[in-house]
């Protein structure tokens, strides 16, 4: 298969981990005789520094003519504590999601047997956990109107949703559930929010088209608790943008490290693959960043194009590296010097 892949390493540890994912994809290409072409472009703080724009036009153009996008991470503390910054790295990511119509962010959460001891949660709580989170990604409070009063003393953010925005991501979640454990849990705050009540209404209607999938509901506060008390109760979680952001980062503790969690952001035309961890500027250029989330994002990319054997092989390689403890220090309790690149090399060799 021939694939044009846009590579957007971004900020902080983004470039390091993305490098390892590209290595894995190249190994797969040579093993399976695929033709993958990689083109790199700037996004985030790096792009602001170079082009004064978190998402330069040429980056967006490249993404639009590529088959898939491999994304690193975004964000830089120098913007976080400056409330009046006019350009921000995150705008690059948000604009990319919006412009490419990537309305569904899919985040699998799994407890790896070899890592059960690394989690802050007890083994019996997490063992066997296998969740797929479907987070709406181009609507809600992320993209609603924002205001700041002239005197700078009051501000607002609008959370808005339409039936269409809810339906399209809901369908993806139900289809996924049909291939999994036949359960969708809608996470909302319907006892307070009008948008949540719309979500409940629309999702109930969508559910009727999937009679073999059970739908249940959980308020987001309760969901944040249940995720820790009993994560095994979940199969597919469907939720809006902000709640999905919070719940999926929280869920990362199940696997023992956020450095393991991959995600796919898909729409009707484009698809982007990225680790859910952020740019972690404190860890940048030290060789300590865990590349597995990025490598598993590459596996999700392969699955997206129905290259299931290829994706499976990457997952096997990752499990092997975990088993052999060829892992960075976030999940390796033995004092060790395994670097980001070491992990990538091992996986490359395995492939």
Ligand X SMILES: CC(C)[C@H](C(=O)O)[C@@H](O)C(=O)O
Phi, psi of 269, deg, nearest 5: -115, -40
- The rounded radius of gyration (Å) of the Cα atoms in the chain is 20
Q: Does 121 sit near its own copies (CB under 8 A)? A: yes
Closest distance of CB 215 from its own copies, Å: 11
3's tokens: 């694939």
Q: Does 174 sit near its own copies (CB under 8 A)? A: no
Residues 6+ apart with CB under 8 A from 263: 105, 106, 107, 248, 273, 274, 275, 276, 297, 300
99 binds, among its own copies, ligand X, none (CB under 5 to 8 A by kind): none
Catalytic one among 95, 130, 183, 249?
249
Catalytic one among 134, 142, 161, 270?
142
Closest distance of CB 137 from ligand X, Å: 7
Known catalytic residue: 189?
A: yes
245's tokens: 């952001």
Residue 157 CB neighbours (<10 A): 13
The separation between the first and the last C-alpha atoms of the chain, rounded to the nearest angstrom, is 18
Q: Does 80 sit near ligand X (CB under 6 A)? A: no
Q: Does 142 sit near its own copies (CB under 8 A)? A: yes
Which of 38, 217, 305, 350 lies at the binding interface for its own copies (CB under 8 A)? 217
Phi, psi of 2, deg, nearest 5: -105, 125
Closest to ligand X by CB, 74 or 238:
74
Known catalytic residue: 330?
A: no
Closest to ligand X by CB, 76 or 310:
76
Is 200 annotated to bind a ligand? Reply is: no
Place of tokens 């919006």: 98
Is 330 annotated to bind a ligand? Reply is: no
Q: Is 6 in contact with 58 (CB distance < 8 Å)?
A: no
Is 249 annotated to bind a ligand? Reply is: yes
Closest CA to 97 of 42, 125, 55, 53: 55
Nearest residue to ligand X, scored by beta-carbon proximity: 90
How far is residue 199's CA from residue 114's CA, in Å, rounded to a whole number? Answer: 38
Place of tokens 């492939």: 351
Element (H, E) at 132: strand 130-136
Known catalytic residue: 50?
A: no
Known catalytic residue: 112?
A: no
Phi, psi of 145, deg, nearest 5: -55, 140
How far is residue 328's CA from residue 336's CA, in Å, rounded to a whole number? Answer: 8
Using CB under 8 A, which of the segments 31-39, 99-107, 184-192, 316-324 binds its own copies?
184-192
Closest to ligand X by CB, 36 or 243:
243
Which of 34, 127, 130, 159 lies at the binding interface for its own copies (CB under 8 A)? 159
Which of 221, 268, 306, 312 lies at the binding interface for ligand X (CB under 6 A)? 221
Q: Does 162 sit near its own copies (CB under 8 A)? A: yes
CA 177, chain centre distance (Å): 19
Is 135 annotated to bind a ligand? Reply is: yes
Q: Does 326 sit near its own copies (CB under 8 A)? A: no
Which of 2, 150, 154, 211 lies at the binding interface for its own copies (CB under 8 A)? 154
Known catalytic residue: 210?
A: no
Residues 6+ apart with CB under 8 A from 82: none
How far is residue 295's CA from residue 311's CA, in Å, rounded to a whole number? Answer: 10
How far is residue 237's CA from residue 172's CA, in Å, rounded to a whole number? Answer: 11
**Three-class DSSP category at 262:** strand
Phi, psi of 237, deg, nearest 5: -105, 130
Closest to ligand X by CB, 148 or 192:
192
- Return residues touching ligand X (CB under 6 A): 74-75, 90, 93, 191-192, 221, 245, 276
Interface with its own copies by CB under 8 A: which residues?
A: 75, 79-81, 83-84, 88, 90, 94, 120-122, 125, 141-142, 144, 146-148, 152-163, 189-195, 197-198, 200-201, 217, 220-222, 224-225, 227-230, 242-243, 245-250, 252-253, 258, 278
Binding-site annotation: residue ranges for Mg(2+): 221, 245, 249
What residues are designated binding site for substrate?
97, 107, 135, 221
Query: Would you name the residues annotated as active-site residues?
Result: 142, 189, 221, 245, 249
């Amino acid at each position: 298969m021939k694939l044009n892949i846009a590579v957007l390493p971004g900020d902080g540890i983004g470039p390091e981990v993305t490098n390892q994912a590209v290595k894995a994809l190249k190994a797969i290409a040579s093993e399976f005789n695929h033709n993958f072409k990689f083109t790199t472009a700037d996004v985030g703080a790096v792009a602001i520094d170079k082009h004064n724009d978190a998402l330069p036009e040429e980056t967006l153009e490249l993404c639009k003519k590529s088959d898939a996008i491999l994304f690193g991470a975004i964000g830089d503390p120098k913007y976080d504590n400056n409330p009046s910054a006019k350009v921000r790295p995150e705008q690059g990511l948000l604009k990319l999601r919006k412009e490419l119509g990537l309305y569904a962010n899919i985040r699998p959460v799994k407890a790896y047997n070899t890592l059960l001891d690394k989690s802050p949660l007890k083994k019996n709580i997490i063992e066997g956990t296998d969740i797929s989170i479907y987070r709406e990604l181009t609507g809600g409070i992320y993209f609603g109107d924002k205001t700041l009063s002239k005197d700078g003393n009051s501000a607002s953010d609008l959370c808005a949703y339409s039936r269409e925005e809810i339906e399209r991501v809901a369908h993806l979640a139900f289809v996924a559930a049909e291939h999994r454990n036949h359960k969708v849990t809608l996470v909302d705050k319907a006892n307070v929010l009008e948008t949540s009540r719309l979500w409940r209404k629309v999702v109930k209607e969508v559910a009727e088209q999937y009679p073999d999938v059970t739908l249940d509901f959980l308020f987001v506060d309760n969901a944040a608790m249940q995720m820790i008390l009993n994560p095994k109760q979940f199969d597919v979680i469907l939720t809006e943008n902000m709640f999905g952001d919070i719940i999926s980062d929280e869920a990362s503790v199940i696997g023992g490290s956020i450095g393991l969690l991959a995600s796919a952001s898909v729409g009707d035309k484009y698809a982007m693959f990225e680790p859910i961890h952020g740019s972690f500027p404190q860890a940048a250029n030290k060789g300590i960043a865990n590349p597995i989330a990025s490598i598993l994002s590459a596996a999700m990319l392969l699955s997206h194009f129905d290259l299931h054997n290829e994706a499976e092989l990457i997952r096997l390689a990752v499990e092997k590296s975990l088993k052999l403890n060829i892992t960075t220090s976030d999940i390796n309790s033995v004092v060790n010097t395994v670097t980001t690149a070491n992990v990538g090399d091992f996986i490359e060799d395995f492939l």
